[in-house]
Amino acid sequence: MNTMSDKNTDTNKPIPFITTEPLSRAIGERYLQYALSTIMHRALPDARDGLKPVHRRILFAMRELKLAANSGFRKSAKISGDVMGNYHPHGDAAIYDAMARLAQDFNVRYPLVDGQGNFGNIDGDNPAASRYTEARLTKVAQALMEGLSENAVDFQENYDGTLTEPIVLPASFPNLLANGSSGIAVGMATNIPPHNLEELINACIHLIKAPNARVETLIEYIPGPDFPTGGTIVEPAENILEAYRTGRGSFRLRSKWNEEQLDRGQWQIVVTEIPYQVQKSKLIEKIAELINNKKIPILSDVRDESTEEVRIILEPRTKIIDKTILMETLFKQTELEIRFSLNLNVLIDGRTPKVCSIKEVLNAFLQHQRDVLKRRSQFNLEKIDHRLEVLEGYIVAFLNLDRVIEIIRNEDEPKSIMMIEFDLSDVQAEAILNMRLRSLRRLEEMELRKEHEKLLIERANLEDLLGDEKIQWTQITKQLRETQKTFGKNSQGGKRRTQFEKVTEFEEVPIEAMIEREPITVVCSKMSWIRAMKGHIDLKQDLKFKDGDEHRFIFHAETTDRISIFATNGRFYTLSCSQLPGGRGMGEPLRLMLDIPNDVEIVDIFITRDDRKFLVASSKGDGFIISESETIAQTKNGKQILNVKNDAKAVVCRSIDGDHIACIGENRKMLIFPISELPDMTRGKGVRMQKYKDGGLSDALSFNLALGLTWKDPADRQRTEMNLEDWISKRAASGRMAPRGFPRNNKFD
């Protein structure tokens, strides 16, 4: 019965009202809400204090823990736990990573967190776990929060409504530009480099004096970013101006280096500063890889001798090398030079994302400073009014002290009686009643009146400030100069670290020019193992190969040469002889140096000359003529020249030297036709050279008809056939059986 009753009760409950809407609109609205949340509460900084919510909450939580710059350290785990529990309901790992970054002097120009322990390094090592490190605020961070207790900014409820947190920090300096920021939102991103605080404040003061100042004038005070890791900016001034005017651009930043002389005329390069956010260990690994792969032949070695200061040693191969060419080559191929992008996309008023010019960002900061000044002044004015009221009550109590004591001793409701008898306000009466007995002996009328007069003067000054914009800007200028004095160029770490330099653009030096010219012998086996033996050895000399492998290609070359490889997939590959392994062992597989598929075989290998023409042909009998300059590949993947499909494969690659083409098929039929019938192409299938009923093309070559056709007979003797009329025909003919004595392998050599 009870069950039935419960069921009836549930049935009688009113059914909630159900609404319907299109799926696209429902998803669109929710995605938009998510996007806005990401933009405003995660990815983009506020132009006023330069912070994202997570950083703002970290600093505020540390302030609530009383972790001032002159206090003791607290465990980072405690700090990240408080931030997560009170203000930022996200993972503690993300909070700790954000806090750790604020403590890294190689990432933040003016660190906001003073870390104790391992907070990571410029090599890219991660910070130690939060249970092992400790932290407190820096003086710079405290300057950002100066005035929080004076109603300088609005507060909002935290995520669960139990506490309040500031919407924005008062920020006594332009932190957005001073420390920079980066972030990726939905459909937008931001990337702001750090700048020098001394220069930023000078620009702010100028902007106060001349609100209509142009960006051209401002960059006289802010010539460019100032990265914590130093380096040298080599971007032209006009590009920097355009970047600051539009809010988008980039800066070329390269390492700082110098030449260090050694004994016997030797020298080495010492890199003392590397670009911003470049991991030193990965940079050295990249340089070492280039050395091992012989991509920079003029560089012999790289090593890291860094301690607290960066010291990367670059050893040239010989002392006669031009150090400028060496460094320019490294700048082009490594992160010794980077481009740091500028995208001044910020929340300009705490709500609206906008790509701003540097003037707009500074104006947003200054307007925020004015709001903070007015709010703090109003707060202090109200505080003074309250104190004046209390002081007036104290004076009345002093003049009627005996009567006040009598009322307190004898009356049940002394507060109301004093208010009526002495015409006191509730605040005044309460202050008198809360006064300690020990204060009675110090209650002197002259002291009270002196304090009263002082507060009246202070109150008048605050009223003047609140009523006059000019006085407000004067006060802001004074505060900025005080901040500049504390954290400017004369303070520790306040001097500009990143310098500027005009560089001459060097023409790219070909790798061949960096290689010492030496004779070598290139050897490639049937299984495509290649090596370079020193000197020009006898080409008929017996060489060792791996078991099951044998000789196939051998020719003389020099270390400055390049070699071309033509494969059965119709691709040409290009390789520098300086990159070939030495000849002491068996060499290395070509497939490790080039992206040649395993099922593809090598057709021919030869020295690249750039001034020849080649006949290329497939097993289907299709071919064409191509200039050698068109076959040079720039990547390991090679360059597709002869298109082959299905079971077809490239079989011929011969230099053009003659006026006729001779083709021999697998059916031993030979055809000769004028070379003029073959087209010059840069890529493609080609045209039919010889027709086959069965099989395909075996070999082809060019020759001078007047000199006859030459081949090697089975006895390795050269034979020349002068009477070739029987085999001369139009291109794409079937041909006739080869002359008597032609090799059984159907090859001309």
Q: Say which DSSP state 644 is in.
A: -
Q: 570: phi > 0 → left, psi -120 to 50 → alpha, else beta; which?
A: left
CA terminus-to-terminus distance, the chain: 106
Cβ atoms of residues 389 and 381 within 8 Å: no
Cβ atoms of residues 577 and 559 within 8 Å: yes
| Burial environment of residue 638 by CB neighbours within 10 A (0 to 12, 13 to 18, 19 or more) | buried
Task: Give the HSE-up count for residue 646: Cα atoms under 13 Å, Cβ half-sphere.
Answer: 3
Per DSSP, the chain holds a count of helices (H) and strands (E) of 19, 35
Residues 31, 34, 132, 159: which is the catalytic one? 132
User: Within 423-489, where are the H helices?
Assistant: 426-433, 445-467, 469-487
- As a whole number of angstroms, the distance between CA 731 and CA 375 comes to 94
Q: Render the burial of 601-618: b for 16+ CB within 10 Å, e for the rest.
A: ebbbbbebeeeebbbbbb
Cβ atoms of residues 51 and 169 within 8 Å: yes
Structure tokens at 267: 């020298």
- As a whole number of angstroms, the distance between CA 498 and CA 195 comes to 9
- As a whole number of angstroms, the distance between CA 422 and CA 433 comes to 14
Q: Please say if 132 is a catalytic residue.
A: yes
Structure tokens at 94: 């993300």
Structure tokens at 315: 């050893």
Sheet holding 267-273, edge to edge: 256-261, 267-273, 312-316, 299-304
322-329 long-range contacts (CB < 8 A, ≥24 apart) are: 323/259, 323/267, 323/269, 324/506, 325/298, 325/506, 325/509, 325/514, 326/269, 326/296, 326/298, 326/299, 327/257, 327/269, 328/506, 328/509, 329/296, 329/298, 329/299, 329/509, 329/514
Q: Say which DSSP state 42 is in.
A: I
Tell me which residues are annotated as active site: 132
